Copies of this chain bind each other. A is one copy, B any other.
Amino acid sequence: MASPMLEFNEKEYLAVCGSSKFAKEMVSVGPFSSYQHAIDAARDIWFNKVDVNGWLEAFAAHPQIGNRSASHNNSTSAQWSKGEQSTALATATDATLEELYEWNARYMQKFGFVFLICASGRSSSEILAELKRRYVNRPIVEFENAAKEQMKITELRFQKLLDSKSAPDSSTELQQ
């Protein structure tokens, strides 16, 4: 029997990574025979096909780490961000959140895009230390760091997308 094929629409790919070029290219090269096949395609598209404007577009789809007001947004992407930051928010004191907020603003001021980190399972103090460490980088170095973090987030979100598709109430076509 052939492997079940993985196929998503543009809107679903956009929730995984907010570059419209990324979403369009994923639709055009899919469907995929496995999670790994989809991830390999996503890596190739993200690093080799999406241009720097597309990277900025994807970065702009993320809320600031620790920004509680962003959780009012009900899109899939916003809900996933909330989940990804749940460890950070659970471990944060008001003082840490305040400092995170300040450093995020400084980061945005220097680099022109939001501080991006694959936050899953990381405490707020770990994130803050990483933000301060990366803040001294040259803009082009940090631009590429952010793109690598985006790819990690993309991989985690693909897994979530897959899990949601293979839940008992969804199409059998996608069940593993």
Among A25-33, A85-93, A137-145, the stretch that binds chain B is A137-145
Q: What residues of B have a CB within 8 angstroms of the CB of A111 in the complex?
A: 51-52
Query: Is A37 interfacial (CB 8 A cutoff)?
Result: no
Which B residue sits closest to A138, measured CB to CB? B48
Query: Is A160 interfacial (CB 8 A cutoff)?
Result: no
Q: What residues of B have a CB within 8 angstroms of the CB of A56 in the complex?
A: 52-53
Copies of this protein in the assembly total 2
Q: Judging by beta carbons under 8 Å apart, are A112 and B54 in contact?
A: yes
Query: Is A6 interfacial (CB 8 A cutoff)?
Result: no
Query: Is A23 interfacial (CB 8 A cutoff)?
Result: no
Q: For the complex, what is the distance from the CA of A112 to the CA of B52, rounded to whole Å? A: 7
Which B residue sits closest to A146, measured CB to CB? B52
Query: Is A132 interfacial (CB 8 A cutoff)?
Result: no
What is the CB-to-nearest-CB distance from A37 to chain B, in angstroms, rounded to a whole number? 21
Which B residue sits closest to A147, measured CB to CB? B140
What is the CB-to-nearest-CB distance from A110 to chain B, in angstroms, rounded to a whole number? 7
A140: which of B52, B53, B112 is its contact (CB, 8 Å)?
A: B52
What is the CB-to-nearest-CB distance from A140 to chain B, in angstroms, rounded to a whole number? 6
Query: Is A118 interfacial (CB 8 A cutoff)?
Result: no
Q: What residues of B have a CB within 8 angstroms of the CB of A113 in the complex?
A: 52
Q: What residues of B have a CB within 8 angstroms of the CB of A110 in the complex?
A: 51
